[in-house]
Each structure stands twice: as structure tokens, then as C-alpha cells.
Chain A
Amino acid sequence: MALPFRLITAFVLVLFLAFESPLQAEEEVAKPFLTLSGYISDASTGEMLIGGTLYITELSGGTATNVYGYYSVRLDPGSYSLTYSYIGYNSKQLQLDLRNDTLINIKLSPQEMELNEVVITGESALENVRRPQMSVARLDIKNIRQIPAFMGEVDVIKALQLLPGVQATSEGGSGFSVRGGSPDQNLILLDEALVYNPSHLLGFFSVFNNDAVKSVELYKGDIPSEYGGRLSSVVDVRMNDGNSQRITGQGGVGTISSRLTLEGPIQKDKSSFMLAGRRTYADLFLALSPNEDVRNNTLYFYDFNGKANYTFNDKNRLFVSGYFGKDVFKNESFALGWGNQTLTVRWNHLFSPKIFSNFSLIYSRFNYELGIPEGEPNAFDWNSRMQDYALKSDFTWFASASSTLKFGLHTTFHSFSPGTAVGLGEETAFNKLEVPESFALESGIYFNNEHQLSNRLTLKYGLRLSMFNNIGKGTVYQYDEQYEKVDSVVYPSGEIYQTFANLEPRFSLAWKLDEFSSVKAAYTRNAQYVHLAQNSTAGTPLDIWFPTGPNVKPQLGDQFSAGYFRYFPKEKLETSVEGFYKLNHNAIDFKDHAELLLNEYLDGELRFGKAWSYGLEFLVRLNEGRLNGWVSYTWSRTFREIPEINKGKPYPASYDRPHDVSIVANYKLSKRIDLGANWVYSTGSAVTFPTGRFTIGNTIAPVYSDRNAYRLPDYHRLDISITLRAKEKPGRKWTGEWNLSVYNAYYRKNPWVINFIADPEQPNVTNAEMTYLFGIVPAITYNFKF
């Protein structure tokens, strides 16, 4: 226990040091500073705009709104010309003679779809050049909708997979690896609640219903200190608040699913709600199948998003939001179901225009259940669950014109129930098998200061102290050197039996070369205390999360990154080059032939070592105008070295794919027609192939190469789409559009897996058989708004 306390003391000291300078600064020049603050929102819906910018000509600088649409900036008294802007919206300019603290709430109107309109700013691009935050990408849901979607289902996660440094872990799946990290190292948040398994239908679709989503932010490095618990990335998904002006709806009827969203004011300008639902009907097609086996199956998923908010006054806002989703697959002899549930209650409070705070109460849960229905001697039921309760308080202090401080405290109570299997029926032959539950408390205290030292140099430095306590009731098994269980200890309820603490420094800087370009560098350390026992490359719903504990050390990650950022104002091109090096200590892998499901002795299947990756990412992005989209190229490598695996030699991770290209383009052909296309290319994933074989009885068995010594053929694919909008008629509220999309347009057979198997006809002959999942997949969707 001594170490954590020392760490806390050190942390508090650093915190005070950080506070000290702006405090003193404030005293010296106490009076002259005034605060300009407010919210930036969408004029038509009242939706708060995340990352809306305020540019102050006199300062050649400005600020951006936070995730609640709030901005605050400290200024000398005087007159200023202000420009408020947001991509895809008409900017607003105004003159301000600042004499007192001033509140300006700004409503921006979305740009009409005029073709030859000259679009005004690259403000957010410039903001990105100025600020030290690097390795971040924000995707607005409008942009995501323009990307051709698999089966017409617009998908947030699939859009992220097109960004540099992000790789899909398998064809069509929603698992992804960021800068060589494992899929379980991504912190996926929906309105701050952790989503443990972001996939539907074995990963082919993600849990995020695009109608309910406002924006998505991805941090692939330089993770701000307000986030903790995962090594590789943060995916911060924010739901729509709900239209505060009038009741509206939107929805779509697609090839495999339909969705409907309703939103509107409860009390105008005071409170609003949003309700969104979606259900697939793939199983309706099953009835058409000539195969009885297929007809007898049920397969679908559905999900709901709901949100309501209430504005008490300018200082207090309350948000309640939730997600409920479920997947069902069953037939006469087998059933499998899984789902995520989240609930978030948040209270925004302004202590003063300078101090913005948010308090959140969060519940999140992932569970699955499978079994053979009662009536069979083999009937059984098996379920598994992961559940969190979290409390968070976050503060932003707009301390001075040059300094913004964030600090806060998070704590989460985890409850792990890895699996319980019981036989069903009186005659069952099966015993109850239960992997013991366990509990843990994960906490973090942080501060972060974004400090503009000069016109050229801005620093962002922060520190997070994270702590993890294993709490009884818990059973811990002890293992010998061969990883065989030798003993067990049972800890009573409430006893803290193991504590871990880590200091996680986060540092970055931006050096402005000129108005349009900058260089940035960052170092961050992250700790991860909860890990996923998942051995497959494609995500399955059968996830088991397990805590750090007496047998499992926390994973630690160090990342160094540096980049060059440049905006070309004439061409409206955002460009960047980033390089990174990442080192992951206590990386977890699994022994050969590991048994992860329903295994009480899971810890004995784990092997520890290190993982590292490095790479270069190039991005050219065009956000505005008739033609928009991006081109990205990533060169990267990622390796692991674990003493008991691959004879201790380093091996490439399966998602080591050195070359990766994405091209995303949208073209507004006319007022009513949009065209979209994306093309992806990447080196085939690293795989293990047999080099030799031997025969046991009539079975031919393989002798393998080194781990991941071979590669699948290169992956590439083109998707295209066309969107046709109905003619606008004045006075009519209903607007509709047809979207036709084609996935894998030139019929590339991308291998999903290559199996080496005996030829069924000829003895002693073995073949390599490739399985590919998709031919050309066309889809049609009708979307509407009213």
C-alpha cells in the first residue's frame, strides 16, 4: 500500500504546481481579464455543436467548443471581431465591444446545398494546426453518411477503419486495431458509458445507429488525461440531444434493417428528447430458403437509443441517455443471444463562466447467453456478464487567455461474471460449472493544462494517476512454473486483496511554423487494468473480460509521436504526416491451444511479454466543397515477443499489415445526386501456415511454420454508392432519398481464412482452401426525414 500513497502525494504535489502558475498570473493581472463564453448550436435543431470554433481576428487565434457545445475564452477589455463557424454551416461574424463578462450563445444554420457556393472557412482545420492535440480525428455523422456502407447500413466503426493508423481486424468486422494495438485496447464510449462489445451479428454491424449519433472522435495516440483504462485509442461517440425546436423524425428502410428516430422539444428551448430504434429482418429472407435447416433459424438484432435533456438555466443542464441492444440467434437445437446496455445521467454545471463542470453517473453491461433448449438430455444454459457502475466528475477551468485546465476524478466498480453453465431439466447429466465472479474498483484522478506559452508554442501537459483494487469476494488460484494450478485462496466479501497504481504522464506540444503549418510532438503513457480473453482475430460475442490481479499485471503502454501539419487555405486541403513508436509492457497473449471459455483457470492460459509497433501515417483531407473526402496511407509494423510463444522469438501480430491505403471520395454531381466511393488496400494479414505434415491413423496433421510467418494475399476492395434526393417542394416537410450502394464492386475475392485440409476424394492429398465471405453485395436503402 505504501507505493500508491506515495504516488498520490506526488500527484497532488504536481497538481498544485500546475495550478500555481495560472493562479499567480491571475492575481497579478486580476482585473483586466474578462470572460466571453456561451454555447454554439445548430439553429434548425438546437443540437449543440461539438468542436464549433470561435476565431478572434485581433488575437489571430481562438477556441473551440467542448463536447457539450460550450466555449469560454478570457480576453482584455476591448473591441473584437468574432467569427463563429462549423463545418457545413454558415459562419457568423460579429463585432463585440467587451466591457463586462459576456455570454454569447450562437446559433449557426446549416449550409443549403448550393453547388457553386464558396464555402467560407477552414477554421477547424486551422484549429487543428494550432492546438497541440495530435493523432485525433473527428468525424461528423454527415460525413460518415456519405461513405458507401456495407449492405446500406451506415456504420460509425467502419468509417473509423478508413482513417490512417486504423485497421479492421477481419473482413467486414467491427473489431479494429489502432496503431498495432489489440482490439481490446480501444476505449469505446457512448455518451461516456463504456461499450464492451461494439458489434452486432458477429461484427458485421456496429452497435451505433447512425440516426442517433451526433459525432465521433477518435484518439489514436496523445490520449488526453481525462481518458484512461485502455492503451491504444479512445472512440468517443456522442448521441444527439434531440431537436429542441420542433418535433422531427428520420428513418430508413434498408435491405436488412429498418430504423426510425423521433426527436423534439418537451418544452421548447428547455428540454428535448430523442428516441431511436432499429431492427434487422435478415431472418425474413430465411423463410424463402429451400433448405429446411435454414428456414428453421431465427436471427436478428435490434437496438434502442434514448436521450432526454433539461436546461434548468444557463448554468445547469441535465442529460439522461441510454442504449439497449440485443442479438438473437436460435433454432430448435441451439440458442445464442448477446447485448450491451448503457445508461448515463449527466449534469453540466457552470460554477462561473470560467469553470465548466460535468458530473456523470454511468451504468454499462455486456452479457451473453447460449445453450441447448430444455427437452434434450444435452440441454444446458451458459451465461456470462460484465457490468460496471461508474461515477465521474470533470472540471474545465478556462484560467486565462492562454491556459485551459482540466481536472477530475473517475471511479468505476467492475463486476465480472465470466461464465456459469448449468444443465437443464430434471434428468440432466450435467453438473453446474461456475467460473467464480470477481470484483474490482478502477479509479483515476487527473489534471491537464493546455498552455499557450507564446504565439508559436503551445504545450499540453497532464498527469493521470490510475488505481486498481481487486475486491473480495474473490477466488484467486496460484500456479506453479508450468502454469498448473497448485492452490487457491478465497478472499472475503469487501476485502481489498490487491492494489495497483500507475502514474500516467501525458505531454504534447505544438510549434507553429506559420499561420498554416505546425509541428507537434507527444509522449503519453497509459495503463490498462481490464483485458479481453479473445483468441480469435474476428470478434465473436463470446467475450470474457478479466481483471488485473495477483496473476496478471496491468498492461502499460508508452507512445511517442511527432508530426507535421499543414493547411492549404486556397485548396482547402488539410494535410498531415505523423510518425509513432509504441511499446506495450506486460502484453498479454495466450498459450498454444488455450482454452478461454468456461475455464476457471484462465490465468494459467495467459502468457506475458512485450509488444511494439511503429509507423508513419499520411493524410490529405478535403472537407468542404463539391468534392470531399480523404486519401490516407499508413506504413506500420507491429510485433510481439513472449518467451513461451514461438520459441521466444519475436513475431508479427496478425494485424501487422505494413501498407494500408484508404481513399474516400464524395462528389456532389447535382443538387439531387451525390456519388460516393471508397477504395481500400492493405497488405494481407500475417498468418501461420503448415510447412510439413504427418499422418496419425487416417488423419493428416500439419507441422507449422513460425508464428505468423506467412501472409494472406493483399486485401483490396472498392465500394460505391449513389444517393438520389427527391425534388424539394416548398411547404412539404417530408424529404426522402434513395441510396444505392455496392460493396466489393469489382468482385475481389479477399480471403477471410485459408484452410489446409485433406482432399475428400484422394487419399494423401492435401489442399489449400480459401474462404471468402463476400461477392458483390448490392444494397438499396430509402431514407426519409420529416
Chain B
Amino acid sequence: MKNLTKAVFGIFLVLGLFSACTETIDIELDQSFTRLVVDGQISTDTMAHLVRLSQSANYFSNTEPAAVSGASVVVDDGSQAITLLEYPERSGMYYTPANYYGIPGNDYLLSVSLPEAIGESINYEATNTMPQTAFQLDSIQLEFRNPPGFWMVKLFAMDPPTTDFYRLDVLRNGLILTDTAYRTAILDDRLINGNNTNGITVMFLYEDEVMPGDTISLIMSAISKDYYEFLLELRNESGFSNPLFGGPPANISSNLREGGLGYFATRKTSSVSLVADSSLWQR
């Protein structure tokens, strides 16, 4: 679908005759009521996993979202329940111990108890099952293509015969490049089910995001169908839309009960890296 949208903008570009123009305008919007927002993930990596609590605001509030501090945040994987800790200097950020890791197949329950009610509730819950997808991540390759002047990230991985969903993130020297919903790639296996991906392009990087000697890593995460849909909706609703493609705007789903927003997700991850060799620039 993304390709398609690009193609359509291409058509306008091509028509050139149409002077399609964009400008910022002022619009009066109604007030919105405040809701709890959960942004949390548990992965199979051994690390301090983060659950962030914040509040929704009016659309043009234009400030950092208000953190929700002093809550009790508990993650229960069926066999043990751990309480996440909020560091004083990081208000609204709740972390697991650094030696914590998720186990595929477990049901994770997040329970949040607020010091005072947001919306109509003090207590919020969300559950997510850690996928068991038996995918094999083999390697990635980079290739610069001009036009359109992007690095293409090519994926070599084996998808199992089950129905699966993936999220793909890219890091440069350990720093995440895919830091927004628009750049994070998501993949369902409808077209590649049970296949080796054979180097299909899964992501584009800007020309200046890869320099000789850089370590480029790709994290492939198996995710649940629900979380996949959440990410897809997040991307569609936060980016540009045009009347040709995509339906009418609609609210992004959530796995928070009691009217919360956001998502508590689990991921089964695997990663590979390559060092960008100067031969990549010989073109």
C-alpha cells in the first residue's frame, strides 16, 4: 500500500501541470477529554524493559505529553509477577529489572493502578501473548539505488508455514534509525508464507544514514496480529493521507481495557548486523 501511495503522489508530480501545493492553516478544534496512554513492550532480549504512562491531550496542545507518575505497574507472565520501577528522574517511565526477558508462548498481563483516576478508572489492564513464531533471520544486504536515492535494506530470512506478523527496526551503530511509526517496517506473511524472503526490500534508508564503516543492524520481531494492526493503524493515522487511498480516518485500536489508549506489546526478537564496506559505494 505504501508503494501505491507513493506511486500516486508520483502521478501528481509527473503531471507537474497540476500545481499541487501544501500550506499550514489554522483550524479550530473541539476539546478532547484526557485518557491514559500506555506505551510498553516486553521482548525476548535480556534488558530493562520499559512501560511508559502518559496522558492524552488536546490536538493542538503542542507540549510534551504529561507523564503519569506514582502508579503501580505490574507485569505478570503467568508464573511470576514483577513490579516495574519508576526512576525519579524519569517521570512516567517504569522499568523491569535489567535481567528480565520474555518467554515465547507466555501470556503477559499488565496491570496499572493509578494514584488518581484518569478518564473513569483508576485500574487499567492489558494482555498480550508472546508469539512463538519459528522464523530464521539469516542476513541483510544494503544496496544504494538512484533513483530514488535511497539505501534499500534487503532481507534474507525464513518464514515458517504458520500465519505470522513481523516488526522490523534498523539501528546504526547501536542507535535506532526507525524511531517513528512511519519508519518502522511491518510485514505480514500473506505473500511470503513458508518462504525464504530471498532479499526482498523491506526498508529504505536515507543516503546520509549509512557511512563507510558503520554497523547497520536489523532487529526482526515476531509480533501478534493485534499489535501488527495497531502499528499499521498508528502509521496510517499519524502520517499523510490523501483522498485517493485509505478510507476515512478512524481511531487507532488499543489492547488497554477500560478505555485506555496505546499498546502493551510483546516481541520475539532476533537480530543481524553488517559493517558497511566501502565497496557499497562503488557504483
A interface vs B, CB < 8 Å?
151, 170, 201-202, 204, 255-256, 282-283, 285-286, 289, 291-294, 296-297, 299, 329, 331-334, 336, 370, 372, 376-378, 380, 421, 423, 427-431, 433, 535-538, 540, 542, 590, 592-594, 597, 654, 688-705, 707-708, 710, 749, 751-758, 763-775, 777
B interface vs A, CB < 8 Å?
1, 3-4, 7-8, 10-27, 29-33, 35, 37, 39, 54-65, 147-148, 154, 179-182, 190-201, 229, 232-234, 236-253, 261-263
Contact of B14 among A299, A378, A428, A751 (CB under 8 A): A299
Judge whether A294 and B13 touch: CB under 8 Å.
Answer: yes
**Closest residue on chain B to residue A173 by CB atoms:** B243
**Nearest CB in chain B: distance from A540 CB, A:** 5
Judge whether A430 and B20 touch: CB under 8 Å.
Answer: no
Judge whether A540 and B201 touch: CB under 8 Å.
Answer: no
Residue of A332, A377, A707 contacting most chain B CB atoms (<10 Å): A377
Judge whether B23 and A769 touch: CB under 8 Å.
Answer: yes
Q: Contacts of B62 on A, CB cut-off 8 Å?
A: 764-766
Q: Contacts of B11 on A, CB cut-off 8 Å?
A: 201-202, 299, 329
**Closest residue on chain B to residue A712 by CB atoms:** B27
Known pairs A202-B11, A536-B246, A758-B238; A771 contacts B22 (CB<8 A) = yes
Contact of B242 among A372, A695, A697, A753 (CB under 8 A): A753
Judge whether A775 and B21 touch: CB under 8 Å.
Answer: yes
Q: Contacts of B7 on A, CB cut-off 8 Å?
A: 329, 334, 336, 370
* A384 CA to B250 CA, complexed, in Å: 27
Judge whether A695 and B39 touch: CB under 8 Å.
Answer: yes
Judge whether A764 and B63 touch: CB under 8 Å.
Answer: yes
Contact of B248 among A202, A297, A688, A767 (CB under 8 A): A688
* A416 CA to B244 CA, complexed, in Å: 23
25 pairs of residues in contact across A and B, judged by CB atoms under 8 Å: A170-B243, A202-B8, A282-B15, A282-B17, A333-B148, A370-B7, A378-B201, A429-B198, A593-B229, A593-B253, A597-B1, A688-B250, A690-B59, A691-B31, A692-B33, A692-B35, A692-B58, A696-B39, A697-B181, A701-B234, A749-B21, A758-B238, A768-B24, A770-B22, A773-B12
Known pairs A593-B229, A691-B32, A773-B18; A293 contacts B191 (CB<8 A) = no
Known pairs A329-B11, A696-B181; A429 contacts B200 (CB<8 A) = yes
Q: Contacts of A333 on B, CB cut-off 8 Å?
A: 148
* A293 CA to B11 CA, complexed, in Å: 11
Judge whether B17 and A777 touch: CB under 8 Å.
Answer: yes
Which 10 A-B pairs rank lowest in CB-CB distance, beginning with the nearest? A692-B32, A592-B250, A535-B247, A691-B32, A694-B56, A429-B198, A699-B181, A538-B243, A694-B37, A688-B249
Judge whether A756 and B59 touch: CB under 8 Å.
Answer: yes
Q: Contacts of B253 on A, CB cut-off 8 Å?
A: 593
Q: Contacts of B179 on A, CB cut-off 8 Å?
A: 697-698
Judge whether B243 and A691 touch: CB under 8 Å.
Answer: no
Judge whether B17 and A773 touch: CB under 8 Å.
Answer: no
Known pairs A377-B200, A705-B30, A769-B22; A693 contacts B61 (CB<8 A) = yes
Judge whether B29 and A699 touch: CB under 8 Å.
Answer: no
Q: Contacts of B20 on A, CB cut-off 8 Å?
A: 752, 771-774
Q: Contacts of B1 on A, CB cut-off 8 Å?
A: 597
Judge whether B14 and A286 touch: CB under 8 Å.
Answer: yes
Known pairs A377-B199, A593-B232, A777-B17; A769 contacts B24 (CB<8 A) = yes
Q: Contacts of B180 on A, CB cut-off 8 Å?
A: 697-699
Interface residues of A, dominant DSSP: mixed
Judge whether A332 and B147 touch: CB under 8 Å.
Answer: yes
Judge whether A593 and B233 touch: CB under 8 Å.
Answer: yes
Known: A255-B17, A597-B1, A702-B237. 12 other contacts (CB 8 A): A282-B14, A334-B3, A370-B4, A429-B195, A689-B27, A690-B29, A694-B57, A701-B252, A707-B248, A768-B26, A769-B23, A773-B12
* A771 CA to B242 CA, complexed, in Å: 9
* A696 CA to B262 CA, complexed, in Å: 7
**Nearest CB in chain B: distance from A673 CB, A:** 27
**Nearest CB in chain B: distance from A383 CB, A:** 14
Known pairs A329-B7, A755-B241; A693 contacts B17 (CB<8 A) = no
Contact of A703 among B26, B56, B229 (CB under 8 A): B56
Judge whether A694 and B244 touch: CB under 8 Å.
Answer: no
* A333 CA to B149 CA, complexed, in Å: 13
**Nearest CB in chain A: distance from B233 CB, A:** 5
Judge whether A538 and B25 touch: CB under 8 Å.
Answer: no
**Closest residue on chain B to residue A296 by CB atoms:** B147
Q: Contacts of A705 on B, CB cut-off 8 Å?
A: 29-30
Q: Contacts of B33 on A, CB cut-off 8 Å?
A: 692
Q: Contacts of B245 on A, CB cut-off 8 Å?
A: 536, 540
Judge whether B243 and A702 touch: CB under 8 Å.
Answer: no
**Nearest CB in chain B: distance from A96 CB, A:** 57
* A640 CA to B141 CA, complexed, in Å: 50
Known pairs A170-B243, A202-B244, A538-B243; A423 contacts B56 (CB<8 A) = no
Q: Contacts of B241 on A, CB cut-off 8 Å?
A: 753, 755
* A752 CA to B21 CA, complexed, in Å: 10
* A697 CA to B65 CA, complexed, in Å: 11
Known pairs A282-B14, A754-B27, A769-B24; A431 contacts B239 (CB<8 A) = no
**Nearest CB in chain B: distance from A484 CB, A:** 11
Judge whether B17 and A285 touch: CB under 8 Å.
Answer: yes
Judge whether A431 and B192 touch: CB under 8 Å.
Answer: yes
* A751 CA to B20 CA, complexed, in Å: 10
**Closest residue on chain A to residue B41 by CB atoms:** A697
* A493 CA to B238 CA, complexed, in Å: 46
Q: Contacts of B59 on A, CB cut-off 8 Å?
A: 689-693, 702-703, 756, 766
Judge whether B249 and A704 touch: CB under 8 Å.
Answer: yes
Judge whether A431 and B232 touch: CB under 8 Å.
Answer: no
**Closest residue on chain B to residue A686 by CB atoms:** B248
* A204 CA to B14 CA, complexed, in Å: 14
Residue of B58, B197, B248 contacting most chain A CB atoms (<10 Å): B248
* A698 CA to B179 CA, complexed, in Å: 6
**Closest residue on chain B to residue A540 by CB atoms:** B244
Residue of A291, A372, A430 contacting most chain B CB atoms (<10 Å): A430
* A654 CA to B55 CA, complexed, in Å: 31
Judge whether A654 and B19 touch: CB under 8 Å.
Answer: no
Judge whether A704 and B191 touch: CB under 8 Å.
Answer: no
Known pairs A285-B16, A429-B192, A688-B248; A757 contacts B232 (CB<8 A) = no
**Closest residue on chain B to residue A421 by CB atoms:** B191
Q: Contacts of B8 on A, CB cut-off 8 Å?
A: 202, 540
* A37 CA to B98 CA, complexed, in Å: 96
**Nearest CB in chain B: distance from A711 CB, A:** 11
Judge whether B192 and A752 touch: CB under 8 Å.
Answer: no
Judge whether B240 and A694 touch: CB under 8 Å.
Answer: no
**Nearest CB in chain A: distance from B224 CB, A:** 15
* A704 CA to B179 CA, complexed, in Å: 24
Judge whether A693 and B56 touch: CB under 8 Å.
Answer: yes
Judge whether B17 and A702 touch: CB under 8 Å.
Answer: no
Judge whether A699 and B234 touch: CB under 8 Å.
Answer: yes
* A623 CA to B131 CA, complexed, in Å: 71
* A770 CA to B64 CA, complexed, in Å: 25
* A333 CA to B62 CA, complexed, in Å: 39
Q: Contacts of B236 on A, CB cut-off 8 Å?
A: 593
Known pairs A699-B182, A703-B56, A773-B18; A292 contacts B147 (CB<8 A) = yes
* A538 CA to B154 CA, complexed, in Å: 34
Q: Contacts of A202 on B, CB cut-off 8 Å?
A: 8, 11, 244
Judge whether A774 and B13 touch: CB under 8 Å.
Answer: no
Judge whether A774 and B18 touch: CB under 8 Å.
Answer: yes
**Nearest CB in chain B: distance from A713 CB, A:** 8
**Closest residue on chain A to residue B65 by CB atoms:** A695
**Nearest CB in chain B: distance from A609 CB, A:** 15
Judge whether A752 and B243 touch: CB under 8 Å.
Answer: yes
Judge whether A768 and B25 touch: CB under 8 Å.
Answer: yes
**Nearest CB in chain B: distance from A726 CB, A:** 28
Q: Contacts of B192 on A, CB cut-off 8 Å?
A: 429-431
**Closest residue on chain A to residue B251 by CB atoms:** A704
**Closest residue on chain B to residue A590 by CB atoms:** B247
Judge whether A654 and B39 touch: CB under 8 Å.
Answer: no
**Closest residue on chain B to residue A770 by CB atoms:** B25
